[in-house]
């Protein structure tokens, strides 16, 4: 993987590139309005179901039973935990009983759900971010972690904090860093659909 050199100049370049991705920018703006203006709370099945379905559609998160996921989120009563920046809520949102006796871990979805409520506090985890963090760990040894640590949200957030400090990215928030890592991951590890 040549040409990847985390720097302030590079991250600024990728943030400018992000602003030119019309479909992603419009999707993110729509979700921001949905989560923060139209339906900011998570105590109504109607409100949560539309948020789950919208995220599932925009991000292709493979939620085949959005009703079960929405019911799970409403049952968790997450609003106070989100207000208090409780990182543990992500793994709780992720662990869903989709039918009697069958649980699925919708971790990537859960990071997106929480992130759309508080993008600075809850950075998104996905395939591309995982690949790039593992790559930078091996190449630059920015922080020692196990692959499984990426799926425990408080540890994942700690890994990103170390990434931010190691490369001197303190002037950027975690949402900006997320956009940077996601884009380079998408370039370096393209998926064929």
Q: How far apart are the first and last CA of the chain?
A: 22
pLDDT digits (tens, 9 = 90+) for 143-173: 999 999 999 999 999 999 999 999 999 999 9
* Res. 2 pLDDT band, cuts 50 70 90: low
Q: What is the pTM of this model?
A: 0.95
């Amino acid at each position: 993987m040549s040409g990847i050199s985390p720097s302030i100049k590079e991250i600024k370049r990728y943030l400018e590139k992000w602003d030119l991705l019309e479909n992603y920018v419009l999707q993110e703006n729509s979700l921001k309005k949905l989560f923060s203006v139209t339906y900011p709370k998570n105590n109504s099945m109607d409100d949560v179901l539309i948020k789950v379905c919208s995220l599932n559609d925009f991000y292709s998160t493979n939620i085949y039973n959005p009703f079960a996921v929405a019911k799970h989120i409403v049952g968790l009563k997450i609003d106070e935990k989100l207000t208090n920046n409780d990182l543990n809520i992500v793994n709780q949102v992720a662990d869903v009983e989709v039918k009697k006796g069958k649980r699925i871990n919708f971790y990537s979805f859960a990071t997106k759900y929480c992130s759309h409520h508080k993008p600075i506090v809850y950075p998104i985890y996905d395939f591309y971010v995982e690949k790039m963090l593992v790559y930078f760990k091996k190449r630059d040894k920015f922080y020692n972690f196990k692959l499984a640590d990426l799926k425990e949200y408080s540890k994942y957030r700690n890994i990103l904090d170390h990434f931010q400090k190691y490369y001197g990215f303190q002037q950027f928030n975690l949402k900006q860093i997320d956009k940077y890592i996601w884009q380079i991951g998408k370039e370096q590890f393209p998926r064929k659909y």
